[in-house]
Chain A
Amino acid sequence: MLPGWLIVGVSFSYLLLLFAVAYFGDRRADQGRSIIANPWVYSLSLAVYCTAWTYFGSVGRAASGGTSFLPTYLGPTLGLALAWLVVLKMIRIARSHRITSIADFIASRYGKSHLLGGLVTIIAVVGIVPYIALQLKAISSGYALLIGEHDTLFRAEGPTGWWRDSTLYIALTLAAFTVLFGTRHLDTTERHEGMVAAIAFESVVKLLAFLAVGIYVTYWLYDGFGDLYARAMAAPELANLLAFDGVGRLGYGGWFAHVLLAMLSIIFLPRQFQIAVVENVNEQHLRRATWAFPAYLLAINIFVIPIAIGGLLHFGQGTVDPDTFVLTLPLAHDNAALALFVFVGGLSAATGMVIVEAIALSTMVCNDLVMPMLLRSRRLNLARERDLTGLLLGIRRGAIVGVLLLGYLYFRLAGEAYALVSIGLISFAAVAQFAPAMLGGMYWRGGTREGALAGLLAGFIVWGYTLMLPSFAKSGWLDPGFLEQGLFGLAWLKPEQLFGLAGWDNITHALFWSLVANIGCYVLVSLQRVPTGAEATQGALFVDVFRRADAPPASFWRSGAEVRDLLPLVARFLGQRRTEDAFSAYARSHGFERIEQLKADPELVHFAESLLAGAIGSASARVMVSTVVQEEPLGLGEVMDILDEASQVRAYSHKLEEKSLALEAATAELRAANEQLKELDRLKDDFMSSVTHELRTPLTSIRAFSEMMVDDPDIDVEDRQRFLGIIVSETVRLTRLVNQVLDMAKIESGHAEWHNTDIDMRELVQHSVDATMQLFRDCGAEVHVDMPDSVPLLRADHDRLLQVMLNLLSNAAKFVPRGSGRVDVRLWCDGRNLRVDVRDNGPGIEPALVPVIFQKFRQGGDERSRPQGTGLGLPISRQIVEHFGGRLWLESTPGEGATFSFELPLASAPNER
């Protein structure tokens, strides 16, 4: 046992040391040589997460529930993996809007709403006060234990008067300490470098103290991990601590819920937000913290289970509270020095939490609860006051003292009955209610003020009903009957089995229902209407914070402010000197030498507002600025200017659009031309291969017969004669083919020569029939010619038209049946056109083949019945007719013959080139 004066002396020396660290930190910050501008310090300061609850309570939980204490530390490990995405965004938002607390964050996001900020503040205070009470209890019980007064951390307080209660003095000492740390002066960013340095220092102390007692228990009292576990397994009542859920309290669902809860609290606990976001010096520090802080948590938890096992082995179950093992084990082995060191570690954990939490809460209470009320009720008075910095600091200090006294009150009234562990988790569940409004606000533009209000309120009410009231009932403040029977005796209203949902631990149960209510109301109410202008602006600024530069939002109002109004306004809250410094810096950055040269444009008003927002919150800042800035409605002229500008922009974009349409059209044309070129290229290739194929056939037979005659000189004269005949006819065909190809090419390329004369078609038709008479006679066909007595003269090339006629007639001759063939040639004039029909009674042409036969080298009929010919006659004929402005076509019924017709216009001038 230790003498009380020694413990008090050591404690105060430790607090003085902390203060020295903080003072040093502040001094260095003022000199511009910050000691906290370091990723390691940032990571260590985040370890303010580990409070007395971790320090003493983890062992207690491990002793009763095995691994069930771990989700509280696994959650942050997982959550911080996402910090680089989520927390970074928060830091960016907080920096660009000078946000200094969670309440301010939510209020600012949903249109700078006082009501929301106030609600968040109330939830935070109600949720956190029990947690602060827990820290006070830990210190006072630890002290009592060391001086040998108590043997348990949770001994019921005797009927001593409050003036003799050491806990009150602890609370007051901490309050004084926090006031000294946190509110020495007002700062627009609400940053407290000295405090952060002290917190980082405390994190080192508590880690070392816990590791010391862990190593002492594991390797001094016992023989290492293996030995402890072996002994635990030998003891039947300890063995079930080694399984996942040996005592069956949590289950896998509860495990998941606790991981989730811890993941949310690492961001949404006010002290974590303060350290991680507000006190962040450089966002790159977050990088290292994402793994260094989880590593810290891992280190501080390694010895939790060994200490729990060691304590249970030494004391047995039920005699000493496991929450005190870290102190009682060294004491039981007469190692008072170690116990004192461990106590200092616990003191570190508790004071660190209390200081940061009180500062964060006091900022919220001042900016989002008290200031708005003062502004509303006593605005005239406030407006008359010259200097409000004193008032602001007073409110902050009062809030710190008030929060700590509330904690003390809770400790006095309820602290005895309830275990450490549950209080911590109840606070976690309270701050988890901020998650939907904050995360939703950062990633969803549609959230509205009413939605956030409804969600927070619903979540808070469900949390209060399912967690807070039962904890009161268990402390004896309320009739515990409603726990058993439900409110008004309604079983489905049982707070810990709401709607009959049973089988979960109370935290999981409350987290589920409160988040369901919270998210449900937030989303459903938000979807009732589209966001207003203010909400939409803030929503866009928050959601797209990474995409925007730091430019102030464009304002569509004209400020009627004067610099000489703005500067005193800011100075009243920030102090004259700081304000002048800030304004001079602003003036210099805009190229002015003195403040007086500044113009009160919307940008300057925004600057002043954000300066104020850092000190009194964004919603109050807007109210204050609006007292000196008349946001005059724009005059007609200015509206016209804005409209003019807008229409210019629109005209410009319209022009751009037209240009791009024209470009698109040109592109399409080019693409079409390209397609056509490709098609022509393909056609040329086809043509070339067809021509060579057609040339090869006669050449092959000429060569074959010639070779036969060369090889065999003794061949009959008769055969020789026949062969030579074939060779000659093939040569003729070859010549014709080459001529026609040339002809075709000439016509197609437009290089053909046309000798136009006046032609009498009667004479031309008769000529052609006479010329082919021998052909028809050979195949035994008759030719009938039907012509009017006279037709108008036609101006065209005689030989070319004759070529067309001969082609059609010889075509007919090829297809008419042998012996019974009949070909009708008819010439007639309808006044505008001369038309010639050549009809045969051959097999006709399949409709499918009709378009084909006008293509080059394509002939009607299949391979075997294919008649003699080059396959170029019809295409050439068509080209000729079309050259004179006419057309050539085919009508055919299979089995009844085919009719080739062409007509030529009389009036049109021939297409001479």
Chain B
Amino acid sequence: MRKGLAGQRLVAVFIAGMLLLNYPILSLFDRPLRLFGLPLLHVYLFSVWLGLVVAVAWIVERGAR
């Protein structure tokens, strides 16, 4: 049961990642704005990336217990 749930969560993360890292959502962040002195787009891409890694880590390491 737990394993099935983890699998479904991973699929959900995958779909969310595909959405966040592609057109059109990606295009919303392609603006000449700066965050902490860094371009918004770069901050966005790397934060989503980090978020995905953390989400996957949380799911699989939780399921391991």
Residue of B nearest to A84 (CB): B10
Contacts of A80 in B (CB 8 A): 56
Docked Cα-Cα span, A74 to B36, in Å, equals: 23
Q: Which residue of A255, A291, A294, A295 is within 8 Å of B26 (Cβ)?
A: A255
Task: Decide: B37 and A81 in contact? CB cutoff 8 A.
Answer: no
CB-contacts of A222-246 with B (<8 A): 225-226, 229-230, 242-245
> Separation in Å of the B2 CB from the closest CB of chain A?
12
Task: Decide: A244 and B14 in contact? CB cutoff 8 A.
Answer: no
Q: Which residue of B7, B38, B45, B50 is within 8 Å of A70 (Cβ)?
A: B45
Docked Cα-Cα span, A229 to B63, in Å, equals: 41
Task: Decide: B49 and A244 in contact? CB cutoff 8 A.
Answer: no
Within 8 Å of chain B (Cβ to Cβ): is A662? no
Docked Cα-Cα span, A84 to B22, in Å, equals: 23
Docked Cα-Cα span, A259 to B45, in Å, equals: 13
Within 8 Å of chain B (Cβ to Cβ): is A298? yes
Within 8 Å of chain B (Cβ to Cβ): is A413? no
Contacts of A492 in B (CB 8 A): none
Within 8 Å of chain B (Cβ to Cβ): is A889? no
> Separation in Å of the B41 CB from the closest CB of chain A?
6
Task: Decide: B41 and A287 in contact? CB cutoff 8 A.
Answer: no
Task: Decide: A290 and B23 in contact? CB cutoff 8 A.
Answer: no
Docked Cα-Cα span, A496 to B53, in Å, equals: 36
Q: Which residue of A78, A243, A288 is within 8 Å of B30 (Cβ)?
A: A243
Contacts of B53 in A (CB 8 A): 77, 291, 294-295, 298
Docked Cα-Cα span, A230 to B54, in Å, equals: 30
Tell me the count of chain A residues lying within 8 A, CB to CB, of chain B: 34
Docked Cα-Cα span, A344 to B27, in Å, equals: 39
Taken residue by residue from 253 to 269, chain A's Cβ proximity to chain B (1 for < 8 Å, 0 otherwise) reads as 10110010000000000
Task: Decide: A242 and B39 in contact? CB cutoff 8 A.
Answer: yes
Docked Cα-Cα span, A74 to B39, in Å, equals: 19
Contacts of A290 in B (CB 8 A): 10, 56, 60
Q: Which residue of A70, A226, A292 is within 8 Å of B37 (Cβ)?
A: A226
Docked Cα-Cα span, A252 to B27, in Å, equals: 8
Q: Which residue of A81, A85, A229 is within 8 Å of B56 (Cβ)?
A: A81
Within 8 Å of chain B (Cβ to Cβ): is A302? yes
Task: Decide: A85 and B36 in contact? CB cutoff 8 A.
Answer: no
Within 8 Å of chain B (Cβ to Cβ): is A604? no
> Separation in Å of the A100 CB from the closest CB of chain B?
27
Taken residue by residue from 55 to 94, chain A's Cβ proximity to chain B (1 for < 8 Å, 0 otherwise) reads as 0000000000001001000100110111011000000000
Within 8 Å of chain B (Cβ to Cβ): is A305? yes
Contacts of B27 in A (CB 8 A): 244, 252
Taken residue by residue from 29 to 56, chain B's Cβ proximity to chain A (1 for < 8 Å, 0 otherwise) reads as 0101010111101100110011011101
Contact (A244, B21) CB under 8 Å given A84-B10, A290-B60 = no
Task: Decide: A82 and B10 in contact? CB cutoff 8 A.
Answer: yes
Docked Cα-Cα span, A291 to B41, in Å, equals: 23
CB-contacts of A186-235 with B (<8 A): 225-226, 229-230
Task: Decide: A77 and B17 in contact? CB cutoff 8 A.
Answer: yes
Task: Decide: B11 and A82 in contact? CB cutoff 8 A.
Answer: yes
Docked Cα-Cα span, A242 to B17, in Å, equals: 22
> Separation in Å of the A768 CB from the closest CB of chain B?
79
Docked Cα-Cα span, A259 to B13, in Å, equals: 16
Contacts of B21 in A (CB 8 A): 74, 78, 259
Q: Which residue of A84, A226, A294 is within 8 Å of B6 (Cβ)?
A: A84
> Separation in Å of the B9 CB from the closest CB of chain A?
9
Contacts of B56 in A (CB 8 A): 80-81, 290-291, 294
Could you pull out 26 A-B pairs where Cβ atoms are within 8 angstroms?
A70-B45, A74-B21, A77-B52, A78-B14, A80-B56, A81-B11, A81-B13, A81-B52, A82-B10, A84-B6, A84-B7, A85-B11, A225-B37, A229-B37, A243-B39, A244-B27, A255-B22, A256-B22, A288-B61, A290-B60, A291-B53, A291-B61, A294-B49, A294-B56, A295-B53, A298-B49
B residues whose Cβ falls under 8 Å from a Cβ of A: 6-7, 10-11, 13-14, 17-18, 21-24, 26-27, 30, 32, 34, 36-39, 41-42, 45-46, 49-50, 52-54, 56-57, 60-61, 63-64
CB-CB nearest 3 A-B residue pairs: A252-B23, A226-B37, A291-B57
